[in-house]
Structure 1
């Protein structure tokens, strides 16, 4: 795979379209390419919303159906436009439009949820990591905004939602740059509703605990 092709495979990798061998080669490239790592993180909310929509909607297409090349190209073009405009919420609408194009009109993915957003913040004294979670109840689960300040990079991290039943759900991941303590903001979602969530945990990719946020 040539270098240019590796860069262009970001969207396919994030959506799980690459076969096992191509995904393995792309992951090798990802370890050495901060630009592609950032692109994969940008696709996180979209892939998350696709999964949530799949869980809450009856299948209307063959279970092995995958997005075609034209759909992937359109998705990548929309993400690029979003980044240029600096709008954080476009990926949620984009996720809805992609799913509806693959299957058929069903329910509005962003519909539902009448509660006001709730925010919680915490700083871990040991790690020094600060995080703030803002959640809003939706028909399909929870819409989540995460803000993180972590000056101990470089390292890869992820946000884990822990349910009251003990189940865990990894909802987003990102890369912390070397000694970059600027706030990092991500939009994502959980299949759990706010009243089903016991806590949120920020962990490294190796499983090290960085900070816990407990809903009141």
Structure 2
């Protein structure tokens, strides 16, 4: 396949619709193309929306069914609601920072790093691979917002975060590239339709199935 066609596969790969052989070849291309690696991350929002649609759509709905006339109104209302929520969180955070600044450095040290009280945090280091990772999950209406922090000097390779539920179900939450022998920490935000209380553990694997580290859900 020509290089230009490889670039065009980035959307299909991010959405998980490439067959296994094409996905394997595209991952080889990702190792040498930082532009495509960045585009894979940018498709995260579209992937989340499709995941939400799949979860909300009853199984008996035909795949080619047309949306109802009120679908756009509901989507716009949901976007407006989320914007209001983000603004409130920003104002609360701003007010808290003003109080902390006025109270002095003693209070700042007491409050720690500002992790929300509702967040669930887990971290682990694999003794065999040396990979360290930390996952912070926050409950959302659709499932969980996940913040992944990882130090992996075992590259180069393509990795994925897999979320495993108590019932054994697995969900692919995100993909990223690891540069050769890179000791720096990588941070990424991903989503899953599983709520924090439904998650049993997380696994980080290479795309060819090699296990890197397991993190038990708190």
Bigger Cα displacement from structure 2, 31-40 vs 141-150? 31-40
Q: 2:195 is matched with which residue? A: 193
- For 2:135, the equivalent position in structure 1 comes to 133
TM-score normalised by the chain length of structure 2: 0.65
Gap runs ≥5 in structure 1: 66-102
- Tell me which structure has the larger Cα radius of gyration: 2
Superposed displacement of residue 124, structure 1: 1.1
Query: Aligned ranges for residues 135-174 of structure 1 at < 5 Å?
Result: 135-174=137-176
Alpha-carbon spacing, 1:140–1:115, altered in 2? closer, same or farther (3 Å): farther
Q: Deviations over 1:35-59 (max 9, x none)?
A: 2441343135223312232134448
Please give the TM-score of this superposition, normalised by the length of structure 1: 0.66
Cα distance change on mapping 1:182 and 1:169 into 2, 3 Å: same
Q: Residue 122 of structure 2 corresponds to which residue in structure 1?
A: 120
State whether residues 6 and 29 of structure 1, in contact with CA within 8 Å, keep that contact through their aligned partners in structure 2. Answer: yes
Residue aligning to 1:83? none
Q: Using the TM superposition, give the Cα deviation of residue 185 of structure 1 relative to its aligned residue in structure 2, in angstroms.
A: 1.1
Question: Structure 2 stretches of 5 or more lacking a match?
Answer: 66-70, 86-115
Cα distance change of structure 1 residues 144 and 119 upon mapping to structure 2, 3 Å threshold: same
Structure 2 counterpart of 1:10: 10
CA contact (8 A) 1:154 1:176 kept: yes
Q: Tell me the distance in 2 between the aligned counterparts of 1:29 and 1:118.
A: 34
Which residue number corresponds to residue 99 of structure 1?
none
Q: How many residues align?
A: 173
Report if the CA contact (8 A) 1:200-1:212 is conserved.
Answer: yes
Distance 1:197 1:121, change over 3 A: same
C-alpha change, 1:50 and 1:30, in structure 2 (3 Å) is: same
